[in-house]
Amino acid sequence: MSNRHEEALAKSLNDPEGFWGEIAEDIIWTKKWDKVLDDSNAPIYRWFTGAECNTCYNALDRHVEEGRADQAALIYDSPITGGTQATYTYRELRDRVAKFAGALRANGVEKGDRVLVYMPMVPEAAIAMLACARLGAVHSVVFGGFASNELAVRIDDASPKAIVTASCGIEPGRVIAYKPLLDGAIDLAKHKPASCLVLQREQVTADLIEGRDVDWMEAENAAEPAECVTVAATDPLYILYTSGTTGQPKGVIRDNGGHMVALKWSMKTVYNMEPGDVFWAASDVGWVVGHSYIVYAPLLNGNTTIMFEGKPVGTPDPGTFWRVIQEHNVKALFTAPTAFRAIKQQDPNAEYLDKYDISCLDTLFLAGERTDPDTLDWAETKLKVPVIDHWWQTETGWAIAANCMGLHQYTVKPGSPTCAVPGWNIQVLDAECNEVERGEIGTIAIKLPLPPGTLPNLWNAEQRYRDSYLAEFPGYYTTSDAGMMDEDGYVYVMARTDDIINVAGHRLSTGGMEEVLAHHPDVAECAVIGVADEMKGQVPLGFLVLNAGVDREEGEIVKEVVKMVREKIGPVAAFKLATTVKRLPKTRSGKVLRGTMQKIADCEEHKVPATIDDPAILDEIDDALQGLGFSKARS
């Protein structure tokens, strides 16, 4: 007997136009579509061609008009500043967005123009994004604090009419002045923005350049509120840059129409959120999670969203998440597994959790990287709520595979984000584009067309879009993730395809080895890379971050994890090398930089990624590698 998830998945694949056309009725359109799915330029597909709409209207104005004017739309919680909090109702948020849209318009921004947003996690970041959507302008959010040269590359690619920034961002123990970084980027860039609107924060006041720089609040206060501008459903809402293998970032586009349809629908289907519920995505607006599930999806669905300016630990302690959940009555939390590993590492027995009442929390959702079973088990045991691993990418904009809590709750299988979300035709392929047997590792690909809300193209780079995502497997979008599917249709995302290592002819997943290492009681976090070996081609090497308070000989722990891998995976893994480190190099979104670590180990040229949280960690990794006799690349 089928369940609601199976029924929805089958309908979405057999009749995508009927499926998404029905869901799209939940969006307010200025003009209805001529065609739900336009395949006239396949393999590049478009959704809701001919339709007209405005994303800001659907996120704010409609809720004011439909009775949610006095409901909280956005809660700002900033432990990093010592406890600053603010709440904006839907009416208050709409009015501020309309005023700031007027300020942008007064500074020359019109429909179709690009606006670069370079902001910390403050309400004005969301206000700027929504104001662009209100005008029909295209925003491009760049993570606050990005280095000048990387910011300059994005300025030249997007050619923004205006840049929106703040005087500073705040990290644990330091304040980062943004304006000097922005000024340096504009100096480096060939394209020069007409204006920069600067939000002055009390921690650092920026010097404004006359004739170009404008004080944010002065401009907003003096502006006339702007109305919502109608755009085509296929017009871009935003550009979000993701790293590219060539060093040139790829500008992922999201359209207005399909994006609204998919994201609003996902709030109930995937996250089981009803209008009025409080949803917290503990991410950053610089990342896709922040775009999709801090700003757009919760507001489209009439939820209360939380903008959190802090860290899971250190602001001030490992109980911060529990405090936020209790104080703001959070129903669902969405964060990265690395956040929970950080909490677990600092508070392995969850003693801080006992200080708070989090009975309001129904579900924890994890994404952004593979959730190892040990972290999953710890979270389930301590929180006593369903912990749902789900999988998606910057390019997709929302979940590819998930345990869809609003349709049917499946049994959780550790290591799997469960099954395909309706709309996604997931297949596991070999190099010849044939489906592999269930249980075998291959490249995970999505049979075209992709559902609404995904990238229709790259900004000014259609050939690159075709080459990067569509060329390897004709008729499919390649995720560049390797994994498998079991007999029940559960998907297992093992690693990026370049994280599958070849040990003496055996294709092995580093993710599978990490799963074993994470089970060791002293290990808080781990990473496995493949390093060059003359005899076997590659051999695995493990990095272990130990739990706080562990006071044992490193050599004993290494012996134990080597034995565990031999027992669980077998001698074929050739896992004999591991070392302990204080921390792993990560991006600001929490992804471990395994590729960079591998290049250091193999003494290959490498560029320090612009997204790295702390470049000094790479020196620590190099020291550990030299201790094992591997790397001299940075000495």
- Is 166 inside any structural domain? yes
Does the N-terminal peptide bond of residue 316 adopt cis geometry, omega within 30 degrees of 0?
yes
Residue at token pair 């170009």 = 212
Residue 36 sits in the same domain as residue 166: yes
Q: Tell me the residue type at 287.
A: W
Domain count across the chain: 2
- Is 306 inside any structural domain? yes
Does the N-terminal peptide bond of residue 43 adopt cis geometry, omega within 30 degrees of 0?
yes
Average pLDDT over residues 602-630: 80
- Is 327 inside any structural domain? no
**What gap in Å lies between CA 33 and CA 305, rounded to an integer?**
30
State pLDDT tens for residues 294-325.
999 999 999 999 999 999 999 999 999 999 99
Write out 276-301 in H/E/C secondary structure: CCEEEECCCCCCHHHHHHHHHHHHHC
Residue 448 sits in the same domain as residue 549: no
Residue 453 sits in the same domain as residue 557: no
Residue 473 sits in the same domain as residue 520: no
Average pLDDT over residues 597-611: 79
> Phi/psi at 453 (nearest 5 deg)?
90, -10
- pLDDT level of residue 374 (50, 70, 90 thresholds): confident
Q: If we measure between CA atoms, which residue out of 13, 8, 16, 20 comes closest to residue 51?
A: 20
**For residue 128, what pLDDT is reported?**
98
**For residue 245, what pLDDT is reported?**
47
**For residue 497, what pLDDT is reported?**
58
Residue 606 sits in the same domain as residue 524: yes
Residue ranges making up the domain that contains 110: 4-310+390-483
State pLDDT tens for residues 389-412.
999 999 999 999 999 999 999 999
- Is 218 inside any structural domain? yes
166 neighbors 199 (Cβ within 8 angstroms): yes
- pLDDT level of residue 243 (50, 70, 90 thresholds): low
State pLDDT tens for residues 427-479.
999 999 999 999 998 999 999 999 999 999 999 999 999 999 999 999 999 99
CATH number at residue 222: 3.40.50.12780
Residue 60 sits in the same domain as residue 182: yes
Residue 76 sits in the same domain as residue 201: yes
- pLDDT level of residue 623 (50, 70, 90 thresholds): confident
Residue 478 sits in the same domain as residue 519: no
> Phi/psi at 209 (nearest 5 deg)?
-90, 120
State pLDDT tens for residues 198-230.
999 999 999 999 999 999 999 999 999 999 999
- Is 43 inside any structural domain? yes
Q: What residues have CB less than 8 Å from 476, skipping those under 6 apart?
A: 427, 429, 433, 445, 446, 447, 448, 470
Residue 113 sits in the same domain as residue 211: yes
CATH number at residue 531: 3.30.300.30
- Cα 326 to Cα 27, 330, 340, 363, 550: the distances in Å are 32, 7, 17, 14, 31
For residue 507, pLDDT beyond 70 = no
Residue 472 sits in the same domain as residue 508: no
**What gap in Å lies between CA 127 and CA 283, rounded to an integer?**
17
- Is 381 inside any structural domain? no
Last residue of a domain, one of 483, 516, 547: 483
DSSP 68-125: ITTSEEEEEEEGGGTSEEEEEEHHHHHHHHHHHHHHHHHTT--TT-EEEEE--SSHHH
Cα angle at 416 between 447 and 322, to 5 degrees? 120
- Cα 80 to Cα 88, 141, 275, 282: the distances in Å are 20, 21, 29, 14
Helix (H) or strand (E) segment spanning residue 13: helix 4-14
- Is 318 inside any structural domain? no
Residue 286 sits in the same domain as residue 180: yes
DSSP secondary structure letter of residue 64 = I
For residue 504, pLDDT beyond 80 = no
405 neighbors 421 (Cβ within 8 angstroms): no
419 neighbors 444 (Cβ within 8 angstroms): no
Residue 112 sits in the same domain as residue 183: yes
**For residue 635, what pLDDT is reported?**
38
**For residue 498, what pLDDT is reported?**
56
Last residue of a domain, one of 433, 450, 483: 483
Tokens of 539: 């051999």
Last residue of a domain, one of 483, 513, 545: 483
Full-model pTM: 0.85
- Round the average pLDDT of the chain to a whole number and report it: 92
Alpha helices in 234-336 (DSSP H): 257-269, 288-289, 297-300, 320-328
- Is 373 inside any structural domain? no
State pLDDT tens for residues 520-554.
999 999 999 888 877 777 889 999 999 988 989 98
**For residue 557, what pLDDT is reported?**
94
Average pLDDT over residues 271-276: 98
**For residue 607, what pLDDT is reported?**
74
